[in-house]
Amino acid sequence: MRKRTSKRCATAYRHSFTITCIFLIAVSLLGSGCATTATAPYQTYHPELEYLKSLHQAGSVKDPQLTAFLMQQFMNANQFQAGIAFFESLLQKHSSQLTSEQKALYLSALGVLRASRADQEPLLSRVAWVNDTIGKLENARTLTHNDNFLVRWMTGVVYAQLPDRFDKTDAAFVDLQWCVDNIDKAPHSGWSREIFYQLAVLYEKTSDHKHARDYLLASGYDGFDKPITLTTPYAVDAAKGHTFYPRRLTEVVPGKVFNLSGFEFTEYNFIVSKDGKELIAIDAGTRPDSAQAAYEFLRSHAPGLPPLTTVFVTHAHWDHIGGHRYFRHLGAPVKFYARDNFRKELDIISKGSQKSPYSYFFGSDFNAGFIADFKPDVTVGQRTEVIVGGTRFELIPVPGGETVDGMFIHVPEHDVLFVGDFIMPYIGSPFFEEGNLPGLFEAIDTVVSLNPKHLLHGHQPLTRVFRSPTLLARLKTSLQWLHQETMKDIWKWTDRAAIHHRNLMPPSIYQNSEVQLPFLIMRENVINRLYDQNVGYWQRDQQGMDTLSQKEFGSLLTGYLDLSEQDLADAVEKMLESGDHELAARTTAWALTQYPSDGKLQALKENAFLKLKEKYQEFNPFKFIIYSESIRHETPQLQQFQPDKGVRDVPEVAPFMPGR
């Protein structure tokens, strides 16, 4: 894993979420001489931030994550003072309507934001400012009876970084250890990254280097000078690719339906037949080696399982068929079922599989040969019933939304529906011309009509976010509204950026709290896909009409504007300080075509992409992957950790909990 860039003046990294979170207090209280860069007169538009602000202003937010995400977006955009003012206004505006939990979350978020800008307080009032911040955090703990994960998480993270004079080290240990012991109350396991990191910091501070080293390893960070904060379970590895979750085996139906996460890019699902003599798999993974790892772990956990005889394929994307050779060569004959038009989808993706620049998705170990010879034994063109070992499977072709060859696998006996990637937020791979939004709506209707107890998608975040038929039915209404509004704008010749800047939000979203996060995750991608499908290669804002390259835009900066390396570096630093990370990343790409060996520009590029990883970690995993690959930055997979045993690279075996 690459080493991070060297530390700069503390304020140069003020836009980092938790490094800011009180490290600046320590510096400022000790009298740091670093100057704070003035806020830029202009900031680019932040769609996620504006969406979250609108929801909170309406007073309709019930999902605790959305309050934490709003705080994180203010932090990432370096809008600390604006965030403080915003949460103060919420506490005042909605005071009579807030539950104790909501008020506590607002106070905790306010406390973190206040802590992050303590260095801007006049010297004589800084200690009072910090004490007032501590008071807000303590009030939040009281309101939730010390039993709210996000409140304890925010308090522990802040206290872990306070200078000794505030006497909060012991309290930090207590809060963070409580979070470790109660991780099942977290939105997902990714929130443990910062817990482990801050515990590592505290143990290092007390000279317990062994525990510090173990906790740091468990966190996935490679040192104590991290420039960003991650609360995501996502991990990227150049050789093995992306994983959405720590390695885990879940018995969805004890002894009968098994789900394995974190062994690679996709999920593995297995069903034991009614007669106990056959094992059935849903999809075949991305690579033979990962299929083998998942399959062998399953058998080590349940050694009496019958032989694999059948594989049902939900769709013919790389990550759902790439491990088929391993299953074919297990010994017993294995029969594969797929849609009758699987070849059409293979033809779409095979064009871009020979030399993919996106190895961080599936890993450098992936090669196009894994999918080239895929061929099912049985193809399905209409709703079909198949009996395997006494278990009835309904194979249901669907028209959308990700691929042309989608197929649901329904197991009535266990009330389980396997839906593959039909509601992948990108409406097809972003790198190919595919995706069918109206088809997605039809597929949602199918899910709703079946109304399964267990809804299992092809990737763990999809199962967590799009967790029930009821939610999907409500989300469909919001997406139909978005479809209509986007098409209206397209036919008015509105350019794509302007559509995003409209902050499109259906009126029903304010009364429908469970749809608020899923809609945000999908909104940008739905707009982009519809725009791509309905606009020609000449666009209203004149994109597509010229053939200007990155290098030619670089020549604009140097040849026409006569900007030196230092000029460009100064400009990018201002962009980063203002939270304009996309603009900074684009500018460094242009600048490096002119000054490819400039170390400072390279470091600024890395910083920009790290901040983009931080920004999109909860909303857009594909961007997380692309930004990682752009700077060859890996994020290790979270591991199980026990203080007496250290880090254990052993998959967790856990009960199934919908929505987690």
pLDDT digits (tens, 9 = 90+) for 568-577: 999 999 999 9
What is the pLDDT, as a whole number, of residue 643?
57
Question: Is the separation of the CB atoms in 469 and 279 below 8 Å?
Answer: no
- Report pLDDT digits (tens) over 591-632: 999 999 999 999 999 999 999 999 999 999 999 999 999 999
β-strands 391-397, 416-420: how paired?
unpaired
Please give the Cα distance from 60 to 212 (Å, whole number).
41
- Report pLDDT digits (tens) over 246-305: 999 999 999 999 999 999 999 999 999 999 999 999 999 999 999 999 999 999 999 999
Mean pLDDT of 360-385: 94
Per cent of the chain over pLDDT 70 is 90
Give the domain 241-467 fold. Metallo-beta-lactamase; Chain A (3.60.15)
pLDDT confidence band for 414 (50 / 70 / 90): very high
Burial of 52 (C-beta count, 10 Å sphere; 0-12/13-18/19+) = buried
Q: Which amino acid type is present at position 343?
A: R
Mean pLDDT of 465-484: 98
Using the predicted structure, report yes or no on whether residue 649 has a pLDDT greater than 80. Answer: no
pLDDT confidence band for 31 (50 / 70 / 90): very low
Mean pLDDT of 204-215: 94
- Report pLDDT digits (tens) over 429-444: 999 999 999 999 999 9
Helix (H) or strand (E) holding 419: strand 416-420
Please give the Cα distance from 446 to 409 (Å, whole number).
12
Of all residues in the chain, what percent are helix, strand and coil, respectively (each to 5)?
Answer: 50, 10, 35
Q: How many residues does the chain have?
A: 660
What is the pLDDT, as a whole number, of residue 18?
38
| Selected residue with higher pLDDT from 531 and 354 | 531
Question: Is the separation of the CB atoms in 339 and 405 below 8 Å?
Answer: yes
Mean pLDDT of 31-44: 49
What is the pLDDT, as a whole number, of residue 358?
60
Closest among 556, 550, 628 to 589, alpha carbons compared: 550
Per cent of the chain over pLDDT 90 is 83
Mean pLDDT of 330-344: 94
Mean pLDDT of 190-198: 96
What is the pLDDT, as a whole number, of residue 646?
55
Please give the Cα distance from 392 to 339 (Å, whole number).
18
What is the pLDDT, as a whole number, of residue 148?
98
The residue whose two tokens read 């202009």 is 42
Mean pLDDT of 639-652: 61
Could you give the angle at the alpha carbon of 404 between the alpha carbons of 402 and 408, nearest 5°?
A: 75
Give the range among 7-16, 40-49, 258-267, 454-463 with minimum mean pLDDT.
7-16
Closest among 114, 209, 202, 117 to 160, alpha carbons compared: 202
Give the range among 22-26, 244-248, 279-283, 444-448 with minimum mean pLDDT.
22-26
* Architecture of the domain whose range is 10-34+43-231: Alpha Horseshoe (1.25)
pLDDT confidence band for 636 (50 / 70 / 90): very high
pLDDT confidence band for 60 (50 / 70 / 90): confident
What is the pLDDT, as a whole number, of residue 332?
82
- Report pLDDT digits (tens) over 38-52: 445 578 999 999 999
- pTM listed for this prediction: 0.91
Distances (CA, A) of 612 to 7, 580, 600, 641: 19, 10, 18, 28
| Selected residue with higher pLDDT from 23 and 331 | 331
What is the pLDDT, as a whole number, of residue 350?
83
Using the predicted structure, report yes or no on whether residue 15 has a pLDDT greater than 60. Answer: no
- Report pLDDT digits (tens) over 219-235: 989 899 999 999 999 99
Using the predicted structure, report yes or no on whether residue 24 has a pLDDT greater than 80. Answer: no
What is the pLDDT, as a whole number, of residue 502?
97
